[in-house]
Amino acid sequence: MDYQQFEALAMPLMLFGLVAFMGFIVWDLAKKSQAGRWGTMVLFFALGLGVLGFIIKAIIIGRVDG
């Protein structure tokens, strides 16, 4: 396995791990601050918008380069 293959495999895995860890952080924050159901949904919605923006950016850049 050369460097490019390793990078192509490791990058999505590490990004998934980062997003999962951020989800855990948001869940822990909501739990410790007693945000309730509505507050927890708002927090996860904001995290989801950030992830969605990252995915849309990757798709747009992929379409321009490809």
pTM of the model: 0.73
State the Cα–Cα distance between residues 29 and 53, nearest whole angstrom: 22
State the Cα–Cα distance between residues 52 and 46, nearest whole angstrom: 10
Q: What residues does each domain of the chain span?
A: 19-65
Note the pLDDT of residue 8.
Answer: 84
28 falls in which pLDDT band (50, 70, 90)?
A: very high
Note the pLDDT of residue 1.
Answer: 84
Note the pLDDT of residue 66.
Answer: 52
With H, G, I as helix, E, B as strand and everything else as coil, classify residue 35: coil
Q: Are 40 and 30 within 8 A, CB to CB? A: yes
State the Cα–Cα distance between residues 53 and 32, nearest whole angstrom: 27
**Higher local confidence (pLDDT), 32 or 64:** 32
